[in-house]
């Protein structure tokens, strides 16, 4: 068999598996473009979990009760853990974690645009849990069925653990809406600032998302950006109304015909600005990550040196 014939045979088998809903495993043959798409998407997903710790971490030491403090610490910690699950899963594609982190620091790898907005009040912690995690969960539930085995397994684990995150956020919003006038104002203000960026989390509209189609064909992505966005809006609207929050979109209306909510125009210019690194907190988020990575270097060096010495000592004994 010549190379081309071999390639076609592999490709056919790969496509058969995708068609049959079988998972692709790390040692299976896969097209380069499939591998590269996964490397990009999974590392972006991992970075989002990790950078996403920062806006919440901004309030970790100002949580107003022992209970809320405990929950917030646990939630931020989960995000670190989920970042790790995703890095490990992405490493099965043959790229090391060091490389992923380096790409992040060099600005070559992206993370979700949402984490470039500042968290300004305690109600933001509620809004992040309810809206941001709510949007993330819609996307992640869909990704449990992704075609790459390690990614799918990581997503199943993550979805199981994240089920409490959105409730935690909504609970904060409920408590604040049932609280004092100041608290209600804080909650509405957070809603106003986080609503639109949350909708942007699903990415550009399907017409403007060229990579999406191929990812759908390979079943890396299972549902389109617009479909997921609509799903999120439909379920979140009732929750907002139930506690008396106003969604900051005058065009938002129930549409009997489509059985979905119609909504207003998303500010895509803002979205692309943030994606290109010109959002309110892009610089701070990245600098913070780089700084703590650099500060840890001497510790990692020492741990490696210790490991090396122990191995040598063991060899001498043998």
The answer to whether 128 touches 60, Cβ cutoff 8 Å, is no
**Can you name the residues that pair with 254 across neighbouring β-strands?**
261
Q: Looking only at residues 28 through 57 of this chain, which bind another protein when binding is defined by CB under 8 A?
A: 28-29, 50, 53-54, 57
**Three-state DSSP state, 266:** coil
The answer to whether 187 touches 245, Cβ cutoff 8 Å, is yes
| Phi, then psi, of 76 in degrees rounded to 5 | -60, -40
Q: Which helix (H) or strand (E) holds 119?
A: none
296 forms part of the interface with another protein (CB under 8 A): yes
7 forms part of the interface with another protein (CB under 8 A): no
From the list 67-75, 129-137, 187-195, 262-270, the region that binds another protein by CB under 8 A is: 67-75
Of 84, 156, 216, 243, which one interacts with another protein (CB under 8 A)? Answer: 84
The CA distances from residue 113 to 77, 259, 260, in Å, are: 21, 29, 26
- Output 3 or 61, the one with its CB closest to another protein: 61
d(C-alpha 179, C-alpha 246), whole Å: 16
- Output 138 or 154, the one with its CB closest to another protein: 154
Site string for another protein, 133-172 (x = CB under 8 A): --------------------xx--x---x-----------
Of 2, 4, 21, 27, which one interacts with another protein (CB under 8 A)? Answer: 27
3 forms part of the interface with another protein (CB under 8 A): no
Q: Is 70 exposed, middle or buried (0-12, 13-18, 19+ CB in 10 A)?
A: exposed
The residues of the shown chain that bind another protein, judged by CB under 8 A, are 25, 27-29, 50, 53-54, 57, 60-70, 73-74, 76-78, 80-81, 83-85, 87-89, 91, 96-98, 101, 122, 153-154, 157, 161, 175, 179-180, 182-183, 288-289, 292, 295-310
């Amino acid at each position: 068999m010549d190379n081309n014939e071999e390639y076609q045979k592999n490709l056919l088998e790969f496509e058969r598996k995708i068609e049959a809903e079988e998972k692709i495993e790390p040692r299976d043959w896969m097209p380069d473009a499939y591998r590269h798409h996964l490397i990009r998407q999974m590392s972006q997903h991992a970075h989002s979990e990790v950078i996403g710790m920062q806006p919440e971490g901004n309030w970790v030491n100002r949580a107003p009760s022992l209970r809320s403090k405990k929950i917030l610490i646990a939630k931020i910690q989960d995000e670190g853990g989920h970042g790790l699950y995703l890095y490990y899963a992405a490493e099965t594609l043959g790229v090391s974690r060091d490389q992923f982190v380096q790409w992040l620091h060099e600005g070559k790898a992206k993370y979700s645009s949402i984490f470039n907005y500042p968290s300004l009040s305690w109600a933001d912690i509620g809004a992040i849990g309810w809206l941001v995690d709510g949007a993330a969960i819609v996307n992640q539930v869909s990704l449990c069925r992704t075609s790459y085995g390690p990614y799918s397994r990581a997503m199943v684990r993550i979805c199981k653990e994240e089920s409490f995150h959105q409730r935690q956020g909504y609970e904060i919003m409920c408590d604040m809406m049932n609280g004092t006038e100041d608290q209600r104002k804080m909650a509405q203000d957070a809603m106003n600032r986080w609503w639109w960026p949350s909708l942007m989390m699903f990415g550009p509209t399907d017409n403007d998302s060229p990579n999406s189609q191929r990812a759908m064909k390979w079943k890396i992505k299972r549902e389109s950006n617009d479909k997921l966005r609509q799903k999120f809006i439909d379920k979140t609207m009732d929750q907002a109304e139930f506690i008396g929050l106003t969604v900051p979109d005058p065009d938002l209306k129930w549409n009997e015909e489509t059985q979905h909510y119609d909504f207003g125009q998303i500010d895509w210019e803002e979205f692309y600005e943030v994606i290109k690194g010109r959002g309110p907190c892009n610089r701070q988020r990245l600098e913070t990550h780089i700084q703590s990575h650099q500060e840890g270097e001497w510790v990692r060096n020492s741990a490696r040196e210790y490991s090396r010495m122990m191995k040598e000592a063991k060899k001498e004994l043998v």
